[in-house]
Amino acid sequence: MTRADLHDISAEVMTSTPLRPKLLGWQPERVVLTRGCDASPPQQIYCERLIAAFPEAEVIDRRDVPHNRLSVPGDTQRDRLKWGKATLVLGSIGRPLHINRDPEARHGVLCAPYLAYHTSWFCFYDCAYCYLAGSPGVKFSPTVRIFTNVGDVLAQMFCTLEQQPGPVGFYSGKVQDGLQLDPITNSSRILIPALVEQPNARLIYLTKSAAVENLLELARVGQAAGQRGTSQAGRLRYDDIVVTWSLNADEIVRTMERGTASLRERLTAAARCKEAGYEV
């Protein structure tokens, strides 16, 4: 695929695929436009559709600043977090992929380097133990962010696949919940169809949500197309798409993972993905 093809895939989903905000269980109080969010016609249309999806939210134009320099009010960090988690920021990311090398590794933390990708940043869950809330990339502006230049993310993935001789795993879940925002980003509908046909690509989600409707629909459509002989989808390896859940006891979910899917909801979502052919 050419770079133009990849951007066409992204543009079609962003401008025509239905948004399902009710599946989030969350309503932002404000939507903030930041630099680059509407740099192309498809991005502009997507921003307009997303604003329409949350008609009660205040719309703030801050296209004079990038997404990570939006100042957040509050006397304490807790106040700033409360404001930020009620704020949906639309922006553009300049570095959608990076190899994670945790600096704490030299202090005995063993976390192998991996390739993280970003179609969003931070999340609206309120986990008591969240390390992201105090991390440099979030502490200044602890807002829920969606990046509208998903075509650039996908193009960078393909560039990486061309440069790497072996399997490449693309991981979502370091600085966001991997699936939390998927009902309104539809990023899985952009990335999975493009990457599932690449023999050396693996897409890994880490989540506490149960927002798997897009994944299940993609698998059904792909399998049906393969059975009709209208595509190669029948031979696609959906087990190269990996969905992982972190699990806790119900009491911990209720008291320390506020806003997340329940233990039963996570296990049910995992079972449905497994049945659809994904690796869980």
* Model pLDDT, residue 151: 93
CA separation, residue 154 to residues 7, 77, 196 (Å): 8, 34, 12
The structure's pTM equals 0.91
Mean pLDDT of 218-230: 64
Distances in Å between the alpha carbon of 66 and those of 60, 82, 111, 145, 212?
A: 14, 21, 30, 11, 30
pLDDT tens per residue, range 110-158? 666 678 999 999 999 999 999 888 888 788 999 999 999 999 999 999 9
pLDDT tens by residue, 18-31: 999 999 999 999 99
Report which listed range, 95-99, 173-177, 193-197, 213-217, is most confident.
213-217
User: What residue type is 106 in one-letter code?
Assistant: R
Instruction: Convert the pLDDT of each residue in 49-107 to its tens digit.
Output: 999 999 999 999 999 999 999 999 999 989 999 999 999 999 999 999 988 766 655 56
Query: What's the pLDDT score for residue 4?
Result: 80
Rounded-to-integer distance, Cα 127 and Cα 145, Å:
17
pLDDT at 85: 97
Q: What is the mean pLDDT of residues 27-47?
A: 98
pLDDT band at 224 (very low <50, low <70, confident <90, very high): low
